[in-house]
């Protein structure tokens, strides 16, 4: 029997130094210093304008959280202070007695405090030392380590991107960021419940590993039950560990999204009157690396990964609610995504995160929190890494959505290819973590799923890590140096990271930037963290699109180019299946309003890239390449029919037509050679190809837009109110290239169901605009809300 009392009320925040002028501020727990100061009106929102630059003092200040609470002695033998998350260098004091010093945001802590509690009023104080002071002391002791930024994040076990990134602000936080409370108990308690779920033939097998903490040596009995099957184990006096095995005959299997259902079963483990529940799903997972492959198999079925990289959804994680996560996960699922890669510069995410992944069938690739730098392996960091890894591997081992543990992001590549070896001069850089410590912990605590030392990685330490012929690669010559057409030169096994930038939605930029909206305006540039980011945006237009002359054109064309680049890359890689077994786009989400590689911006608005992802991540896809059409079928049923190929003039006139019978088996790609009559244009700048199979259609041009004689757009457009918003119908009188609607320019809460639609003369498109406001119908069908590449000059 136990009882838990949260300690979330009555907290006061103060700066340790009176010179900072912060004292007696009401604090929210869980929370952090930035959000507390913001709520008190003592700082400006760091996400707006360039306010971030005036708040660096927060990360260089020591902070004190303090609360008083009443306590009445109870009949329990033990009372623990349970801290689920302290960010980061903390000293914990109860009634004037120091309990502990901690230095890891990625783990929890439990301290026995019953002997310190007194009847009546008790005072709990948590002092957070400056993360900068901590890291600088470790760096001085251990020696500098190379990385892409001057910030010292490798020297502390804390969310790395708090120190700034090429898409994120520098907001170095401190605070009690996860729940804190008192747990009282007697006899024995369940300290760890670690179910390992596997399939043995048609049957489900659960090995429940239990660790017990106890204050008495009496024998105790642990029971486990799932799906009507139960088991028990009796621990002898002093016994602290038990293994309970349960076999569930022929359970319904858990499948990734798009491959089947996601049945979950409640596993209950009991020790006396205490019980712990875990939701489990029966499935198997393997990683096939034969001959350089990198293919995930779930339930013995190879899965083509349609993935996105996930970064922390807010620099202040306590603000990320289950509702907010559900919205973001819904956006991922609606775009055809089946895997989220939790990137190594962030966090082990919340229980809500993995709950939603389990429920929706979104696979999770979990990086350990190491990213883009050399990490010291000396103490005290090594012990902290081991402690956090053990806790989180055990915490997540039962999750059916979790399919891969990955040692780090880009650190192996950094040492091999970024000139680190000379700079390191023999100092440790993380190899002991990625090749020894972490795989040994996974093998011990979670042998049910694969481990991969890092990404990119080719399968062995002595191989070039970013080799397209083996393992996982990251593609960043595109965006940094090369035109996105270079994706067509790659024949990879698995692309775990690649991306292309575009600005946030107009309404997001307008909220975050109070000054002029111009591509080169100082406040706009502050919300562009990539080196020469805006220069790369313009150079990236290349011959694909015209150079913009106004902000409105810059905004539309660079967003469109982002969408086109990623659609081209994914189409190329999907057409190579099964040789290529997956793509993980950088990135799904943003943590603040910024120009970045995301499909969903920092205010949660879908950028044009999101609509392109939905199209190119569909189960069925037609990809027009050089001399062929790839018929991509990632569904459970064959895709057969007559592939209609029509070469048109830009006026819509059919110039040639071919019909080819085609069949793509389930989970396969069928390649169809383009007949010369439709694949060879008479006038590359004046013709296009339309390919249709069933309800799928794609339109491809024979030349880049800047070399195509696009007609001046002419169309009829009408907006009419309907329940929940407006229906906008556009009928083309000429070719309309990449038709898009941006209703957030009229109502920041408005959204549209589709965009980036190319229409031939006579064709129509219907858009549904969701809004709670009355809008001007004429404005919904006029510039700059309604856009296309070949619109009439204004």
Write the DSSP string, 19-31. Answer: GG---SEE--SS-
* pLDDT of 794 over the 70 cut: no
CA end-to-end span of the chain: 74
Distance of CA 280 to the CA centre of its chain: 22
What phi and psi, each to the nearest 5 degrees, are found at residue 278? -135, 140
- Between the CA of residue 687 and those of 545, 672, 680, 706, 790, what are the distances in Å? 17, 21, 10, 14, 15
Residue 552: predicted pLDDT: 97
What phi and psi, each to the nearest 5 degrees, are found at residue 571? -60, -45
Say if 66 falls within a structural domain: yes
Number of structural domains, the chain?
Answer: 5
167 and 208 share one domain: no
pLDDT digits (tens, 9 = 90+) for 107-122: 999 999 999 999 999 9
Say if 793 falls within a structural domain: no
Domain boundaries, position 631: 621-707
Strands 180-185 and 78-83: antiparallel
Q: What is the largest CA-CA distance in the chain?
A: 91
Report cis status (omega within 30 of 0) of the bond before 537. no
pTM higher than the cut 0.95: yes
What phi and psi, each to the nearest 5 degrees, are found at residue 681? -80, 150
Q: Which of 707, 733, 761 is the last residue of a domain?
A: 707
Distance separating alpha carbons of residues 175 and 168, to the nearest angstrom: 20
Mean pLDDT of all residues in 29-33: 98
194 and 289 share one domain: no
Nearest to 157 by CA among 370, 437, 4: 370
Nearest to 639 by CA among 665, 668, 673: 665
Q: What is the CATH number of the domain that holds 197?
A: 2.60.40.10
Contact 689, 625 (CB under 8 A): no
Residue 20: predicted pLDDT: 85
pLDDT digits (tens, 9 = 90+) for 409-457: 999 999 999 999 999 999 999 999 999 999 999 999 999 999 999 999 9
Nearest to 143 by CA among 427, 422, 371: 427
DSSP class of 711 = P
* pLDDT of 307 over the 70 cut: yes
> Helices marked H in 150-301 — which ranges?
none
16 and 99 share one domain: yes
Say if 792 falls within a structural domain: no
Say if 503 falls within a structural domain: yes
R_g of the chain computed on alpha carbons: 28
pLDDT digits (tens, 9 = 90+) for 536-562: 999 999 999 999 999 999 999 999 999
Contact 367, 406 (CB under 8 A): yes
List the Cα angle 354/358/361 in 5-degree steps: 125
* pLDDT of 296 over the 70 cut: yes
| Structure tokens that stand for 216 in this block | 């008495």
Spatial strand order in the sheet of 109-112? 2-6, 180-185, 78-83, 109-112
Residue with tokens 């760091």: 46
Q: What is the CATH number of the domain that holds 162?
A: 2.60.120.260
E strand or H helix that includes residue 491: none
- Print the SS3 string covering 612-671: HHHHHCCCEEEEEECCEEEEEECCCCCEEEEEEEEEEECCCCEEEEEEEEEEECCCEEEE
pLDDT digits (tens, 9 = 90+) for 704-746: 999 999 999 999 999 999 999 999 999 999 999 999 999 999 9
- Between the CA of residue 717 and those of 699, 726, 785, what are the distances in Å? 22, 13, 12
Task: Report CA torsion sign: 22, 24, 26, 28.
Answer: positive
Share of the chain above pLDDT 90, in %: 98
Helices (H) and strands (E) in the chain, counts: 17, 46
Distance separating alpha carbons of residues 499 and 569, to the nearest angstrom: 9
382 and 463 share one domain: yes
Tell me the β-bridge partners of 621: 632
Nearest to 171 by CA among 83, 293, 43: 43
pLDDT digits (tens, 9 = 90+) for 375-407: 999 999 999 999 999 999 999 999 999 999 999
Contact 4, 181 (CB under 8 A): yes
Residue 792: predicted pLDDT: 78
At residue 370, the 3 state secondary structure works out as: coil
614 and 625 share one domain: no
Residue 728: predicted pLDDT: 98
213 and 166 share one domain: no
String of DSSP letters for 740-783: EE-GGGT-TT-EES---EEE-TT-EEEEEEE-SS---HHHHTST
Q: Whole-number mean pLDDT of the chain?
A: 97
Residue 19: predicted pLDDT: 87
| Structure tokens that stand for 175 in this block | 């605070």
Output 169-172 pairs: Cβ under 8 A, ≥24 positions apart.
169/46, 169/47, 169/52, 169/315, 169/529, 169/592, 169/594, 170/52, 170/56, 170/59, 171/34, 171/46, 171/52, 171/55, 171/58, 171/59, 171/315, 171/316, 172/56, 172/58, 172/59, 172/60, 172/131, 172/132
String of DSSP letters for 316-349: SGGG--HHHHHHHHHHHHHTT--EEEE-TTS---
Residue with tokens 């804390």: 158
Residue 695: band (very low, low, confident or very high) from pLDDT cuts 50, 70, 90: very high
249 and 376 share one domain: no
E strand or H helix that includes residue 200: strand 188-200
405 and 496 share one domain: yes
Distance separating alpha carbons of residues 572 and 628, to the nearest angstrom: 12
* pLDDT of 278 over the 70 cut: yes
pLDDT digits (tens, 9 = 90+) for 156-184: 999 999 999 999 999 999 999 999 999 99
DSSP class of 463 = S
Q: What is the CATH number of the domain that holds 729?
A: 2.60.40
- Residue 489: CB partners within 8 Å, gap ≥ 6? none
Mean pLDDT of all residues in 40-54: 97
Say if 794 falls within a structural domain: no
Say if 423 falls within a structural domain: yes
E-strand stretches of 443-521: 451-452, 473-475, 495-498
Residue 2: predicted pLDDT: 84
| Structure tokens that stand for 793 in this block | 């000059």
Say if 703 falls within a structural domain: yes
Residue 596: predicted pLDDT: 98
Distance of CA 772 to the CA centre of its chain: 30
DSSP class of 106 = T
Q: Which residues of 737-776 are buried (b: 16+ CB within 10 A; e: fewer)?
A: bbbbbbbbbbbbebbbeebbbbbbbeeebebebebeeebe
Distance separating alpha carbons of residues 527 and 768, to the nearest angstrom: 31
201 and 141 share one domain: no
* pLDDT of 349 over the 90 cut: yes
290 and 273 share one domain: no
Tell me the β-bridge partners of 198: 205
439 and 587 share one domain: yes
In this structure, the number of other CB atoms found within 10 A of the CB of residue 660 comes to 18
Q: Which of 618, 638, 653 is the last residue of a domain?
A: 618
Distance separating alpha carbons of residues 636 and 258, to the nearest angstrom: 9
596 and 519 share one domain: yes
Alpha-carbon torsion angle 507, 512, 516, 517, nearest 10 = -40
Mean pLDDT of all residues in 86-100: 98
Nearest to 506 by CA among 766, 741, 782: 741
Q: Which of 582, 599, 618 is the last residue of a domain?
A: 618
Say if 399 falls within a structural domain: yes
């Amino acid at each position: 029997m136990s009882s838990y009392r949260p300690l979330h009320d009555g907290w006061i925040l103060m700066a340790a130094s009176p010179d900072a002028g912060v004292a007696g501020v009401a604090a929210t727990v869980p929370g952090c210093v930035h959000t507390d100061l913001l709520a008190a009106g003592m700082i400006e929102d760091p996400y707006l304008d360039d306010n971030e630059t005036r708040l660096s003092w927060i990360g260089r200040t020591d902070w004190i959280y303090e609360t008083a609470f009443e306590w009445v002695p109870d009949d329990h033998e033990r009372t623990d202070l349970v801290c689920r998350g302290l960010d980061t260098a903390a000293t914990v004091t109860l009634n004037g007695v120091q309990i502990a010093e901690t230095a890891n945001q990625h783990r929890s802590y439990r301290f026995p405090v019953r002997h310190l509690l007194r009847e009546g009023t008790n005072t709990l104080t948590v002092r957070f030392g400056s993360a900068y002071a901590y890291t600088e002391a470790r760096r001085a002791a251990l020696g500098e380590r190379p990385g892409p930024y001057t910030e010292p994040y490798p020297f502390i076990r804390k969310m790395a991107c708090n120190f700034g990134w090429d898409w994120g602000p520098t907001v170095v936080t401190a605070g009690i960021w996860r729940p804190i409370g008192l747990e009282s108990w007697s006899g024995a308690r369940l300290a760890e419940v670690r179910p390992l779920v596997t399939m043995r033939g048609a049957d489900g097998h659960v090995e429940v590993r239990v660790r017990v903490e106890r204050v008495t040596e009496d024998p105790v009995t642990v029971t486990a039950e799932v799906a009507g099957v139960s088991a028990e184990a009796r621990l002898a006096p002093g016994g602290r560990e038990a293994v309970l095995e349960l076999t569930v005959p022929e359970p319904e299997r858990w499948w990734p999204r798009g491959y089947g259902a996601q049945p979950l079963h409640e596993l209950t483990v009991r020790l006396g009157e205490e019980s712990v529940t875990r939701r489990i799903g029966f499935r198997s997972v393997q990683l096939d690396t034969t001959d350089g492959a990198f293919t995930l198999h779930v339930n013995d079925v190879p899965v083509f990964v349609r993935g996105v990289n996930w970064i922390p959804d807010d620099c202040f994680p306590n603000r990320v609610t289950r509702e907010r996560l559900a919205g973001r996960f819904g956006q991922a699922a609606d775009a055809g995504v089946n895997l989220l890669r939790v990137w190594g510069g962030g966090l082990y995410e919340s229980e809500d995160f993995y709950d939603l992944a389990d429920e929706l069938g979104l696979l999770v690739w979990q990086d350990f929190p190491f990213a883009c730098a050399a990490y010291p392996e000396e103490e005290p960091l090594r012990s902290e890494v081991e402690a956090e890894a053990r806790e989180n591997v055990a915490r997540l081992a039962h999750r059916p959505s979790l399919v891969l543990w990955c040692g780090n992001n880009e650190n192996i590549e950094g040492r091999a290819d970024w000139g680190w070896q000379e700079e390191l001069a023999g100092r440790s850089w993380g190899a002991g973590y990625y090749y020894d410590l972490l795989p040994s912990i996974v093998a011990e605590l979670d042998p049910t799923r694969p481990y991969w030392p890092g990404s990119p990685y080719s399968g062995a330490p002595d191989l070039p890590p970013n080799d397209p012929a083996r393992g996982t690669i990251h593609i960043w010559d595109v965006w940094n140096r090369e035109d996105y057409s270079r994706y067509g030169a790659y024949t990879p096994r698995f692309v775990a990271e690649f991306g292309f930038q575009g600005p946030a939605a107009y309404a997001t930029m307008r909220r975050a930037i109070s000054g002029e909206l111009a591509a080169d305006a100082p406040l706009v540039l502050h919300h562009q963290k990539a080196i020469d980011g805006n220069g790369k945006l313009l150079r990236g237009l290349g011959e694909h699109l015209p150079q913009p002359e106004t902000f409105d054109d810059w905004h539309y064309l660079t967003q469109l180019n982002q969408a086109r680049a990623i659609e081209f890359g994914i189409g190329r890689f999907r057409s190579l299946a099964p040789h290529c077994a997956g793509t993980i786009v950088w990135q799904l989400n943003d943590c603040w309003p910024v120009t970045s590689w995301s499909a969903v911006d920092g205010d949660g608005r879908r950028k044009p890239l999101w609509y392109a992802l939905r199209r190119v991540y569909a189960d069925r896809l037609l990809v027009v390449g050089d001399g062929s059409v790839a018929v991509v079928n990632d569904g459970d049923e064959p895709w057969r029919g007559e592939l209609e190929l029509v070469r048109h003039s830009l006026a819509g006139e059919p110039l040639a037509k071919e019909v080819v019978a085609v069949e793509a088996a389930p989970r396969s790609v069928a390649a169809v050679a383009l007949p010369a009559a439709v694949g060879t244009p008479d006038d590359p700048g004046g013709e296009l190809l339309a390919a249709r199979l069933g309800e799928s259609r794609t339109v491809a041009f024979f030349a880049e837009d800047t070399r195509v004689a696009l007609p001046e757009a002419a169309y009829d457009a009408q907006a009419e109110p309907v329940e929940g918003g407006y229906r906008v119908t556009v009928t083309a009188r000429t070719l309309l290239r990449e038709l898009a609607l941006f209703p957030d320019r009229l109502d920041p809460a408005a959204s549209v169901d589709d965009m980036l639609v190319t229409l031939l003369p006579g064709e129509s498109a219907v858009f549904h605009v969701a809004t709670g406001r009355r809008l001007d119908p004429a404005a919904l069908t006029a510039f700059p809300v309604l856009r296309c590449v070949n619109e009439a000059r204004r």
